[in-house]
Amino acid sequence: RGYFPPNWHKIGEKTTLLITHEIRDKQAITAVGCRNVTIENCTLVHCAGMGFMGMHCENITLDRFNAYRNYHGNGRMVACNADMVHCFNCKGRIVIRNCEMEALLDDTVNIHGNYYTVDSVNGQTLGMVMNGPNKKLALRCFNEGDTVTVYRGRTQEPVAELVVNAIRFDKETGIRYYSVTGDTAQIAAGDTMENRSAQPEILMENNTFGIFRGTMRLQSRNKTVIRNCRFYNPGASMLFTGDTTYWYESGPVQDLTVEDCAFVNRAGPYFYVFGEVEFTKEYPFYHKNITVKNCRFDHGGVLAELNHLNGFTFTGNSSPDTMQILSAHSRNIRTDCSTVIKRD
C-alpha cells in the first residue's frame, strides 16, 4: 500500500516514498473481555497494525505508552501502521496519560461503539447483522446483561430499550440472535441498535501527539476530558463523528471538555463535528455539549466546524490570529474569543 501526498504528481528526486504493510490486523497488544488493564512505560518500536486494541474491556489505563519516529536511530519513519489506540464497546474508564505518540499512519486514539442492524424480529428474539466494512467480521457488539437502545431506521429516534439475556451466533449467515427483555412490538427490520452499557468515561491528560497521518476520534456518551495535551499533527486534531451509513460506529458525544491544551499545528479546522445519520424534526442533532476552554492555538482561522451539534462552548482561548467557528444546523454556541459564521 502506497501513501502519496495530494501533490504526488509533482514529486521529485528528493521525495521519500513510504511503502507500508497491506494487512493492518496484526496488533502489538490486544485485550478482549478483560478488566483493569494497565500498560506502563512501554515504547512501540514498530507495529504492522494497531498499537493497542481493546474490545469489550472494563477499565483501561495507558501510562507512558509511546511511539516515535526514528526511535534510537533505527531509521523507521513509521512506528505504527494504523491507530495507536483503538477501543470499542468498552466500559468503565479509559485513561490515557503521559504518552507521546507520533509516526502513525492512522489515528492516535479511536474510541467508539457500534451500531448493529435489525434483520428480523421474532417475539423476544432479534436477529442482528453488522453492516459496513466490518460486515464479514460479524463482530460481537453486545454481551449478556447489556442495556441496548433500538432506533427507527438510520435515525436517532428511539423505539425500544432492551436488556440482552442470551446470544446465539449463526456462523453460516453471520446473524446473531439476541434474546431480550423489553417491548419489541415497535421494532422492524432495518432499525439500528446501540449498546448503552458500553459507554466508557474517558480521561486524556499530559499527552503529546506529534506528526501522524490520522486524527483523534472520541465517541462515548459518558463524560470525556482532554486536558494539558499538545497537538502537532497537520490534520484535524479531533474528529467527532458517528454514522449509520458506512462504519456504523456509535457513541454520540454528550459531555466533552478540552482544556488547557496547546495546538501547534496548522489544522483548519482543529475540531470537526458531525454525525452521519438521518436527522428528523424531533431529533435534529447528533453530538451535544462540547466545551473548549483555556487553550492556545498557534494559528488562527477556522478552528472548528460544527454540524448538527447542540451546545458548543469556546471560551478563554487564545491565538495570535483571528479565530472563527463554522456552524451548520447547530445550536447553543457560546464564545468570548471567536467569530461564529452560520452556514445553514
Cβ pair 253, 219 in contact under 8 A: yes
pLDDT value at residue 2:
55
Average confidence (pLDDT) over 85-102: 97
One-letter amino acid for residue 223 of the chain: K
pLDDT > 70 in the chain, percent: 93
248 φψ region: left (φ > 0), alpha (ψ -120 to 50), beta (else): left
pLDDT value at residue 134:
77
d(CA 177, CA 164): 10
Which tens digits make up the pLDDT trace of 322-336? Answer: 999 999 999 999 999
d(CA 62, CA 196): 24
**N residues, the chain:** 344
Torsions phi, psi of 342, nearest 5?
A: -90, 135
* Arithmetic mean of pLDDT over the chain: 92
d(CA 114, CA 180): 18
pLDDT value at residue 12:
63
CA angle, 242 then 83 then 271, to 5°: 50
Residue 186: pLDDT above 60?
A: yes
d(CA 265, CA 191): 41
Which tens digits make up the pLDDT trace of 253-294? Answer: 999 999 999 999 776 789 999 999 999 999 999 999 999 999
Query: How many C-beta neighbours within 10 Å does residue 191 have?
Result: 23
Higher pLDDT, 108 or 344: 108
pTM of the prediction?
A: 0.94
Residue 113: pLDDT above 90?
A: yes
Q: What is the DSSP string of 172-237?
A: TTTEEEEEEES--TT--TT-EEEESS---EEEEES-EE-SBSS--EE--SSEEEEES-EE--SS-S
pLDDT value at residue 77:
85
Which tens digits make up the pLDDT trace of 198-219? Answer: 999 999 999 999 988 889 999 9
Higher pLDDT, 202 or 12: 202
Cβ pair 279, 246 in contact under 8 A: no
Contacting residues for 264 by C-beta, under 8 A, at least 6 apart: 230, 231, 232, 298
Q: What is the CA radius of gyration of the chain?
A: 21
CA angle, 196 then 117 then 286, to 5°: 55
d(CA 96, CA 269): 24
Terminal-to-terminal C-alpha distance of the chain = 39
Contacting residues for 149 by C-beta, under 8 A, at least 6 apart: 158, 160, 161, 162, 193, 194, 196
Query: How many C-beta neighbours within 10 Å does residue 89 have?
Result: 24
* Residue found under cell 516515535: 68
Grid coordinates of 38 = 494497565
pLDDT > 90 in the chain, percent: 78
